Amino acid sequence: MSSFTKLLPAAAAPTIAEQLIELRREAATRARLYPTWIAAGKLMPSYAARQEARLHAAIRTLEGLLPDAAAPDAPAPQPRLPYTNE
């Protein structure tokens, strides 16, 4: 648990739907930035693929905990990007 989380009152803990929104936002950000970072040599394609796989696994896990498997106001799932330069 982070020190920030310890400061939050129990009622402020994020819901599963809110967690999904955040994970989906992060997935969209990575989908946008990773190709540029890979092309610039700042990120290895194999490492990016592992990170993406873990993030999408977390999204699927949380989706399985929701009755309708969808979070309100969540961005649409991003397609997997083909990584090159490996």
- Residue pointed to by tokens 């009622």: 11
DSSP 18-30: HHHHHHHHHHHHH
Mean pLDDT value of segment 52-61: 96
Residue 48: name the closest of 60, 58, 36 by CA. Answer: 36
CB 63 within 8 A of CB 31: no
Supply the pLDDT for residue 71. Answer: 47
pTM across the whole model? 0.66
Output the six-digit token pair for 50: 């592992």
